[in-house]
Amino acid sequence: MTPPTPAGGTPSPTASPTASSVSGSRQPALPAPPYGYGDLPDLMTLMSGDEKHGPAATSTLDVLWVLYHRVLRVAPDRAEAPDRDRFLLSKGHGPMAYYAVLAAKGFVPVAWLPGWAAFDSPLGLHPDRTLVPGAEISSGSLGHGLGLAVGTALGLRAQGLLDPAVWVLVGDAEMDEGSNLEAVQFAGATGLERLHLVAVDNGSATYGWRGGLASRFEAEGWSAVTVDGRDHDALYEAFTAPHPGRPHAVVARVEPR
């Protein structure tokens, strides 16, 4: 497979014919670094554990790649820098795409991927911030990430750190949780301009929102836009749209689960 040229970069090299062995079983060939978007399916294939949330594992892939490749100001050697951007994965169930992107960007070793979800692996079915380099929060239980992102944005503002952006990724079904409504209301009322939310909408919400999910944020004073969650250029444009004095929400629609 010859991966496509990543935006703003050079083509990734063709996968090398190497392989690793884990627990006596032959694993798929490891692609050679540096890694591009076209390598992500191969990296995800290395994770052969028992995924309980298949749609959640794949619906976020393009959003995560565009964020880490083109938007977020964070790198493995600056993962603890005070002025880094913060990314909080609230949609922590089904984290295969997240781990693949972290590996592609050098936060975690690719060699960790085949052991994913094993008893002694740092890469669990839900990310653990004490075990996964680059993870800002431990997540999996829905309804917590947005509140934590609001608190993070407030904390940075209180410290006079006005440049770092705070990003949180949620699912559309997660927005049914009441805690998120309170966080949306508070962020809009206090004008948390450095707060950004990406809601990956795969049609799994039980109740939904009249007028679409973006209208839920607009009603509380947010800037909000809805885009194709597989279109990298549309995602980048939405992620970087100006929103002075307001938090910003991007609803990324993908194929229904």
> What is the rounded CA–CA span in Å between residue 170 and residue 229?
13
> What is the rounded CA–CA span in Å between residue 48 and residue 154?
39
Does some domain include residue 105? yes
Residue 254 carries which side chain, given as an amino acid letter? V
Name, in order, each residue with C-beta under 8 angstroms of 183's C-beta and a sequence gap of 6 or more.
146, 147, 149, 150
Does some domain include residue 164? yes
CA atoms within 13 A on the CB side of 164: 24
Name, in order, each residue with C-beta under 8 angstroms of 178's C-beta and a sequence gap of 6 or more.
143
pTM of the model: 0.86
Query: What local confidence, expressed as pLDDT, does residue 6 receive?
Result: 38
Does some domain include residue 35? no
**Is pLDDT of 56 > 70?**
yes
The mean-pLDDT minimum among 14-23, 94-103, 134-143, 168-177 falls in: 14-23
CATH number, domain with residue 140 = 3.40.50.970
**Is pLDDT of 225 > 90?**
yes
Beta 195-201 vs 166-171: how paired, if at all?
parallel
Phi-psi region at 24: left, alpha or beta (left = phi > 0; alpha = psi -120 to 50): left
Mean pLDDT on 128-136: 95
More confident residue, 217 or 208: 217
Does some domain include residue 1? no
More confident residue, 134 or 27: 134
Mean pLDDT on 157-168: 97
How many domains, the chain?
1
The mean-pLDDT minimum among 21-35, 94-108, 147-161 falls in: 21-35
Does some domain include residue 5? no
Does some domain include residue 31? no
* Average pLDDT, rounded, for the chain: 86
Does some domain include residue 153? yes
Look up the domain containing 216 and give its range.
48-253
Strand (E) or helix (H) holding 227: strand 223-228
Residue 42 carries which side chain, given as an amino acid letter? D
Query: What local confidence, expressed as pLDDT, does residue 53 receive?
Result: 63
Does some domain include residue 236? yes
Query: What local confidence, expressed as pLDDT, does residue 214 receive?
Result: 95
